[in-house]
């Protein structure tokens, strides 16, 4: 049952501006959360200002996407070059919102879950890419939210029974009543994201890489993965369950190797190149969530 009886393209047009505005806030998070000084980390009450000259940004220059285009990518006060990341993050978040009703049923809990996950991944991709860090202040609440999204299982257990009437019903009829939707790629075939599955995802997401890290440390005598990567896997596990989380870990590691190994060979740096692993996890997540099952079956077929 759709929340509003509108064609998806119209919902897309209505959602896109919200995405652009949220993307603008995403830029604030990306710039301020990795700051050393706690006062610089304030993302709520501090007005938008130019990182170059600290001048306050005029409201009409702060309009997502268009402000940057109008200013031709430079601060109006000091001419500081505004990185292309700013319009890019706004555009990506706008596209995320516009695409959401096409891939997830609009107005349902899994739609909300998908949007929240997507936005978090955009922000974390760029904090990791620019500063090599994944802020706890985002990741720890995300772990809790992942678990909370399974709460309807306890509140409306009767909806859980109906969830099993068929693969289509899971996503379309009862989606709002439960946060138990499996990743769309798994719907109807795989276990739903119950509180237990979510909790396992959280525990395994933190535990498996922690073990791998211990092994790596023992062999190489250095830290392999950063702690932030573990926390990212933990909240992704809480959101999508333990199996997709492992898929994200392996695909992310594969993507990281595909980029990292040629880089290492080119630089001949002897394996000391630090790669932002969170970026690869962020790229792997939508692939696993939407195509994980098809990839897994393809892989099993390829094995014979």
Contacts with Zn ion by CB under 5 A lie at 50, 52-53, 75, 77-78, 80
Residue 241 class from Cβ within 10 Å (0-12 exposed, 13-18 middle, 19+ buried)? buried
Residue 21 class from Cβ within 10 Å (0-12 exposed, 13-18 middle, 19+ buried)? middle
Identity of the residue, 50 or 255, whose beta carbon is nearer to Zn ion in the bound complex: 50
Alpha-carbon distance values, 296 to 13, 190, 250, 303 (Å): 35, 12, 11, 11
State CA 287 to chain mean position distance: 12
Say if residues 112 and 10 touch (Cβ distance below 8 Å).
no
Identity of the residue, 75 or 98, whose beta carbon is nearer to Zn ion in the bound complex: 75
Least distance (Å) between residue 40 CB and Zn ion: 16
* Paired residues of 74 in beta bridges: 81
Least distance (Å) between residue 55 CB and Zn ion: 5
Identity of the residue, 52 or 224, whose beta carbon is nearer to Zn ion in the bound complex: 52
Identity of the residue, 52 or 107, whose beta carbon is nearer to Zn ion in the bound complex: 52
Identity of the residue, 79 or 262, whose beta carbon is nearer to Zn ion in the bound complex: 79
Least distance (Å) between residue 76 CB and Zn ion: 7
Closest CA to 138 of 263, 236, 19: 236
Least distance (Å) between residue 151 CB and Zn ion: 45
Identity of the residue, 75 or 175, whose beta carbon is nearer to Zn ion in the bound complex: 75
Least distance (Å) between residue 136 CB and Zn ion: 30
Identity of the residue, 63 or 159, whose beta carbon is nearer to Zn ion in the bound complex: 63
Least distance (Å) between residue 101 CB and Zn ion: 38
Q: What is the CA radius of gyration of the chain?
A: 21
Alpha-carbon distance values, 70 to 64, 67, 180, 229 (Å): 11, 5, 44, 37
Say if residues 195 and 153 touch (Cβ distance below 8 Å).
yes
Q: What angle do CA 192, 181, 291 make, to 5 degrees?
A: 90
Least distance (Å) between residue 295 CB and Zn ion: 46
Cβ neighbours, 10 Å, residue 280 = 25
Cβ neighbours, 10 Å, residue 97 = 24
């Amino acid at each position: 049952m759709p929340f509003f009886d509108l064609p998806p393209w119209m919902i897309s047009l209505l959602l896109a501006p919200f995405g652009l505005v949220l993307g603008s806030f995403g830029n604030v998070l990306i710039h301020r959360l990795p700051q050393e000084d706690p006062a610089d980390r304030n993302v709520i009450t501090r007005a938008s200002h130019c990182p170059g000259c600290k001048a306050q940004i005029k409201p009409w220059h702060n309009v997502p996407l268009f402000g940057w285009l109008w200013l031709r990518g430079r601060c109006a006060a000091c001419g500081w070059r505004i990185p292309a990341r700013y319009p890019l993050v706004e555009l990506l978040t706008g596209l995320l919102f516009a695409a959401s009703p096409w891939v997830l049923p609009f107005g349902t809990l899994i739609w909300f879950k998908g949007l929240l996950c997507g936005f978090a991944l955009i922000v974390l991709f760029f904090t990791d890419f620019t500063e090599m860090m994944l802020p706890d202040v985002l990741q720890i609440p995300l772990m809790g939210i992942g678990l909370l999204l399974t709460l309807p299982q306890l509140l409306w257990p009767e909806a859980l029974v109906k969830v099993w009437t068929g693969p289509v019903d899971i996503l379309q009829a009862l989606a709002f009543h439960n946060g138990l939707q499996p990743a769309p790629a798994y719907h109807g075939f795989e276990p739903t994201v119950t509180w237990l599955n979510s909790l396992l995802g959280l525990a395994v997401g933190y535990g498996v890489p922690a073990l791998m890290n211990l092994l790596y440390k023992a062999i190489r005598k250095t830290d392999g993965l950063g702690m932030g990567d573990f926390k990212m896997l933990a909240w992704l596990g809480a959101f999508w369950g333990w199996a997709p989380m492992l898929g994200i870990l392996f695909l992310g590691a594969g993507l990281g190797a595909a980029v990292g190994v040629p880089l290492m060979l080119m630089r001949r740096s002897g394996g000391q190149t630090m790669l932002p692993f969170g970026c690869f996890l962020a790229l792997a997540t939508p692939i696993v969530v939407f195509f994980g099952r098809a990839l897994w079956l393809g892989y099993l077929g390829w094995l014979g």
